[in-house]
Each structure stands twice: as C-alpha cells, then as structure tokens.
Structure 1
Amino acid sequence: MEPHHLDHDGRSFTIDFERTPEGWVCRISREGDGAVQVIAFSDGPGFDPDDVRGSLIAGCEAAISRMPSSPPTRH
C-alpha cells in the first residue's frame, strides 16, 4: 500500500503501511524532527472491508492527535 501524507497542526506526517500475517503495522513519521510512532492494527472488527486504507488512516490520524508536540530531550 502506498504511503499516506498529511498535515496536522502545522506539522507534516508520512504514514507507511506494512501488511503482516496478524494485521497491519503503520509507521507514522513526523517530518522535521525524526519522531516515529508505530501502531499495530490486528485483523478483525473495526475495519471497513471496503476501505481498509481509509480505516487505517483514520486510526493513525487519531494517534497523531495524541503525539507529543516535540520529541523527548536527550541528556
């Protein structure tokens, strides 16, 4: 599945999709600071069988809205 690009709160994100035997793994990369969040979606209820991509994107957008605005500092 092709990556999805979106903007949220003035930041740009890329979502990469990977199909696994158990479901889907999505890697959400925030451009500019290298922050990455990985989310797994198991097969089963919750997907629109006619729009799996749209279902995955909706789940990732919900996760993006909860991502911290900046990466943790390293000391």
Structure 2
Amino acid sequence: MEMFKVETFEMNQLIDIKKVIELTALSRSTIYAMMDEYSPYYDPTFPKKVKVTQSRIAWSAYEIHQWIESKLAERE
C-alpha cells in the first residue's frame, strides 16, 4: 500500500511550477493551458500565477490547495 506524505502550507507560501505539478498531478503544459484563456483547457478557477521577479513566477500554495479541494468537492 502506498503511503502519502501530508504537507501543510503557510497562508502566504509561494511554490514553484515543480511543486504545482507534484501537488496537482498535472503536466507543465496542461497547467499553462489551463491559465490561457484562449485554450480549450482554460480553467478560470485555476489559481493565478504571481510574478516574483522579472524572470520568476510562483503560485500561492494555499490557493492551489483550495483549488484541489474544490475539485474534490465536485466529485459525484
């Protein structure tokens, strides 16, 4: 049986794309497609990126967690 590691996040913690991929089980290209309003995969509920520096972006760990929770709540 596979064990899952439970992680907690601080309200204002920023995470990089690698962590978003790990938490959501989505590919990098799917994540970017979900953020692109012209993509058929666009999801307006997916958390917006945060520009940390001119060449670095991140996401709010709390918002990613909330998005995952909303997807779990949509299950039938």
State the structure with bigger RCO (CA 8 A, min sep 6), 1 or 2. 2
If each structure's strand is expressed as a fraction of its own residues, which one has the higher value?
A: 1
Query: Larger % of helix: which?
Result: 2
